[in-house]
Every structure is written in structure tokens, then in C-alpha cells.
Amino acid sequence: MRHRHHDHLARHREAPDRVPLICDWFEERGFERRWLSDPEAGFGVGVHRFTGRPEPLVPGERMFTFVGYGVLEGTRART
């Protein structure tokens, strides 16, 4: 059985432009870049397709946490 999974990213392209870094993260983890908007568009929208071997999810394990803008703004101030 062939599994297909696509991930999409959307982000601004203001300094610091993190879109190339985010694309690298996807590609280091088995995703193939299918499309990415031009940097001159002022926004970053991309599509990556997972080409690796799927792994089962661990029951009860959290994949990510939404932290909110307050936390993100504090992070931005430290970078």
C-alpha cells in the first residue's frame, strides 16, 4: 500500500525570512519539495510531499503544542 502525505506551509517573508530554513527541516525529514512561492511575492507558501516510510503514532504522545502569540512574541525578542 502506498501512503501519500502532503504538508503545506504558509509564512511571511519578512526578515528574518525563515521559509528556507523551514523547507530544510521538511526535506531533512523525508519530505520532497513540490512547490514554493517566489520570495518576491512577499509571503511564503509551499507544498512538500512525504516520501519516507510512515511510522505509527505513539499513543498518548503529543506531536506539537499551540503556544499562542504571547509566547511567540517573547521568543522573537530573544532571537
Expressed as residue numbers, the domain containing 44 is 1-54
Let me know if residue 65 belongs to a domain. no
% of the chain beyond a pLDDT of 70: 87
Looking at residue 78, its pLDDT comes to 55
Looking at residue 60, its pLDDT comes to 93
Looking at residue 1, its pLDDT comes to 45
CA distance to 42, 49, 56, per residue, from 9 (Å): 14, 12, 23
**Domain count within the chain:** 1
Which residues of the chain fall short of a pLDDT of 50? 1
SS3 content of the chain, % helix, strand, coil (to 5): 30, 30, 45
Helix (H, G, I), strand (E, B) or coil at 76: helix
* Residues forming beta bridges with residue 32, ordered by sequence position: 49
CA distance to 35, 40, 59, 78, per residue, from 28 (Å): 16, 25, 25, 26
Let me know if residue 79 belongs to a domain. no
Provide the whole-model pTM: 0.64
Let me know if residue 2 belongs to a domain. yes
Let me know if residue 8 belongs to a domain. yes
Let me know if residue 61 belongs to a domain. no
